[in-house]
Amino acid sequence: MSKPGWQSKLSRPISLKTGTKLETLADARAFILDMLPESDQDRSSWQHATELLIEAAERGGATTEQIERALFLQGMWIPK
């Protein structure tokens, strides 16, 4: 079993409406920190996604569904 870390893959890639594709924990982290305005980062859905993201990088775990939920709530992702 591979060691958790920021290069770990999400359980499935997430394609945003903008064409951006999130495939790893690092991609999701960079998106949250670099692309989301602070006011959006403060939303509870993103706070929860961030907590799960850090936990996944440190110990392993799943975050894909929470990231998808937060993106969906902001109209940035539509399930296929």
Structure tokens at 76: 């940035």
Specify the number of domains making up the chain: 1
CA 37, chain centre distance (Å): 15
Question: Which pLDDT score is estimated for 2?
Answer: 56
For residue 28, the enclosing domain spans 21-73
pTM: 0.87
User: Does residue 36 fall inside a structural domain?
Assistant: yes
Give tens-digit pLDDT for 34-69: 999 999 999 999 999 999 999 999 998 888 999 999
The whole-angstrom separation of Cα 41 and Cα 60 is 22
The whole-angstrom separation of Cα 47 and Cα 27 is 17
User: Does residue 68 fall inside a structural domain?
Assistant: yes
Residue 1 has pLDDT above 70, yes or no: no
Catalogue the E-assigned strands of 1-80: 9-15, 21-24
Return the amino acid letter for 73: L
The whole-angstrom separation of Cα 49 and Cα 68 is 9
